[in-house]
Structure 1
Amino acid sequence: MGRYDNLRKIEQLDPVKDRSEIVKIMVSYEFPWDFQRSYIELAFVRAFASPRIAGLVAKRGYTKAHTQKRYDDSSILMFEIIKYGYDSEKGRACIERMNYIHGHFPINNQDFIYGIATFILEPIYWNDRFGWRRMSEKERLAWLNFCLEIGKRMKIENLPDSLEEMEHFKQEYEDKYIYKSPATKELYELFVNLISNWFPLVPKRLVELVFRCIIDERSLKAFEKKAPHPAVKSFVEFCLHARAWVLSYLPARTRSGLFVDRPSRSYPANDYDVTKLGPPDENLKKKVSV
């Protein structure tokens, strides 16, 4: 299979009518590793830089006690929708479960929109910087339309309906609501600890240093962390660019690299039930306010 065969197939599809098919090809076969980094990890980090969002998550205590499971459960719910589509039985079950979980949090609609904005924009930013190729215009539009449809099914109101409007909303939100707080710092530390556990032979300070190289400066300030030395950041970026260059010369994937198509740390046998993912009811029913 040629390196650009998937892209040629995508370019024959419609970014509105065929958005689910385009997204599945793009995330499962073209950029699976990149979407795991951007759609899950960096998008969550961006959201955790908001004290309003971080405060709700931190006060529950579930993420602190079950960080790896929280990461895996969120990844499964979001990637199952991509694998099966939001109109499938599994896709509907995932959205229903997310709505049930979020329904126990007093989440502001603006915070919901910001969350969707990070999910839409972070993968585009990442691929522009570190992907083996940039997303095509059809891929960007399909990704936008796919995420907007999920947002609508999550009952999020007044969603910006273009990438430009989404970017404008994101900038305005960050100007107002991204700043340091105890909750943002706590969630940053939890995330660094999580990633460090994946690399037990690597010193935690080194893991965090690399992590800081790919986080934006505004979020770093909210987490009360300094930007890395420019030389260190340049080296990390060089490594990511080298990875992209190598990938551009490799054959196209023939097996899905999607998170749900391989064992996870919390579910090595993939024996999960999407209707039971996330915090248990006793945690969800705690009274929480920011």
Structure 2
Amino acid sequence: MKRFAFRDEIHRLDAEADCVRIMQILNAHEFPWDMGRALGIALYRTYAVPSIGALLGRTNEFTGSTQKRYDDTALILNNMMRYGFEPGRGRDALRRMNQMHRSYDISNDDYRYVLSTFVVMPVRWLNDYGYGWRRLTGHEIAAVTNYYRRLGKYMGIKDIPETYERFRDLMDSYEREHFAYTEGGRAVSDSTLDLMVSFYPPRVSGPARKFSMAILDESLIETFRYDPPSRAWRRAADIALKLRARVVRRMRPREEPLWADGNPNIRSYPQGYDVNRIGTFPKGCPVAHDVDPVAHEELYAAQTREEEAPRADDARAGTSADGRP
């Protein structure tokens, strides 16, 4: 297989109709390591928003069970991307994610912001920072945008941006307006950095932490009140990632896909897992658990903070997956 064969395949596909397949290629063949790092930073950024960081801190899920939460997040997102949103494991993962989210009072603005980080950070990592072995094309960026627009619709998010540029502007403006220190956000950040360092041998834990801090932008360092990394460490991290990109560019393409299930850092389920049973199960969950989130996306779209009563009525009614009571 030639080095750019997957890129050529992507450009024979439609950026909207085939966005799931394009995301599968980008995440499992072209950039599996890079996409993992970019999406990890995307999630990490959300801790700096008080309404998100404080909530995660209160639940204790990202501080007391950090490894499991990391694994659950990676596996749920991976199953949706790997299997798509049709009936099966992908749709089951979507349902599980919606069940968890609907257990908490999360604003539509926060949902939109988190979605924007998923769209923007892979492009910034690969293109703007120059850490990809090749740049994403405009066609690929459109496919990434369309994939997350589709996911956002199935999550019931309102007023989803229509283009990458609008997602980018939303993310940047939301961070300027909302980034602020909270004890909960800092605790979640500390726990996440501790977990990242644990992925390396103990003898290099010190340099691994310095490297992790060096790739965080100044807004995150300031918000979490960390000592800023030295210019030398920032320069070293930047050079190392760009050198890695040059090496990867000369490697053969990855013909066998690499999914989260094969990631050795996913440690919580050595005997396998059922996507319907991973994640959190808070008491008093208001979701109709047997509702199919794709076939009944209008149910989720209606679940705004101003419409709590209709949502509770739907849950008590026990609507089934095929729409029958």
- TM-score after normalising by structure 2: 0.84
Which residue of structure 2 lines up, in the alignment, with residue 166 of structure 1? 167
Whole-Å separation in 2 of the counterparts to 1:9 and 1:122: 23
Whole-Å separation in 1 of the counterparts to 2:87 and 2:285: 26
> How far is the alpha carbon of 1:283 from its aligned partner?
9.2
Q: Provide the alpha-carbon RMSD of the alignment.
A: 1.6
> How far is the alpha carbon of 1:282 from its aligned partner?
4.1
> How far is the alpha carbon of 1:200 from its aligned partner?
3.9
Alignment of 1:1-290 (within 5 A): 1-39=1-39, 41-128=40-127, 129=129, 130-202=131-203, 204-262=205-263, 264-269=266-271, 271-282=272-283
> How far is the alpha carbon of 1:261 from its aligned partner?
4.0
Larger Rg: 2
Q: Aligned to 1:134, what secondary structure does the other structure show?
A: coil
Matched-pair contact (CA < 8 Å) for 1:184–1:222: no
For 1:205-225, what per-residue CA distance to the aligned partner results, in whole angstroms no more than 9, with x for missing partners?
A: 422211111111111111111
> How far is the alpha carbon of 1:177 from its aligned partner?
0.7
Q: Aligned to 1:131, what secondary structure does the other structure show?
A: coil
Q: From the superposition, tell whether residues 4 and 283 of structure 1 become closer, same or farther in structure 2 (CA, over 3 Å).
A: farther
Q: From the superposition, tell whether residues 60 and 3 of structure 1 become closer, same or farther in structure 2 (CA, over 3 Å).
A: same
Which residue of structure 2 lines up, in the alignment, with residue 288 of structure 1? none
Whole-Å separation in 1 of the counterparts to 2:149 and 2:105: 21
Q: Aligned to 1:158, what secondary structure does the other structure show?
A: coil
Whole-Å separation in 1 of the counterparts to 2:108 and 2:34: 28
Q: From the superposition, tell whether residues 47 and 284 of structure 1 become closer, same or farther in structure 2 (CA, over 3 Å).
A: farther
Matched-pair contact (CA < 8 Å) for 2:103–2:284: no
Amino acid of the structure 2 residue aligned with 1:73? D
> How far is the alpha carbon of 1:284 from its aligned partner?
6.4
Q: Aligned to 1:202, what secondary structure does the other structure show?
A: helix
Uncovered stretches (5+) of structure 2, i.e. residues with no partner: 287-325
Amino acid of the structure 2 residue aligned with 1:72? D
Amino acid of the structure 1 residue aligned with 2:214? C
Range with greater deviation from structure 2 (273-282 or 260-269): 260-269
Range with greater deviation from structure 2 (159-168 or 204-213): 204-213
Uncovered stretches (5+) of structure 1, i.e. residues with no partner: 286-290
Range with greater deviation from structure 2 (180-189 or 71-80): 180-189
Whole-Å separation in 2 of the counterparts to 1:31 and 1:112: 26
Q: Aligned to 2:202, what secondary structure does the other structure show?
A: coil
Range with greater deviation from structure 2 (162-171 or 100-109): 162-171
Equivalenced residues, count: 283
Range with greater deviation from structure 2 (248-257 or 197-206): 197-206
Percent identity between matched residues is 28
Amino acid of the structure 1 residue aligned with 2:21? E
Matched-pair contact (CA < 8 Å) for 1:212–1:228: yes
With a CA cutoff of 8 Å and minimum separation of 6, indicate the structure with the bigger relative contact order.
Answer: 1
Matched-pair contact (CA < 8 Å) for 1:24–1:82: yes
Amino acid of the structure 1 residue aligned with 2:150? E
Q: From the superposition, tell whether residues 284 and 67 of structure 1 become closer, same or farther in structure 2 (CA, over 3 Å).
A: farther
Q: Aligned to 2:256, what secondary structure does the other structure show?
A: coil
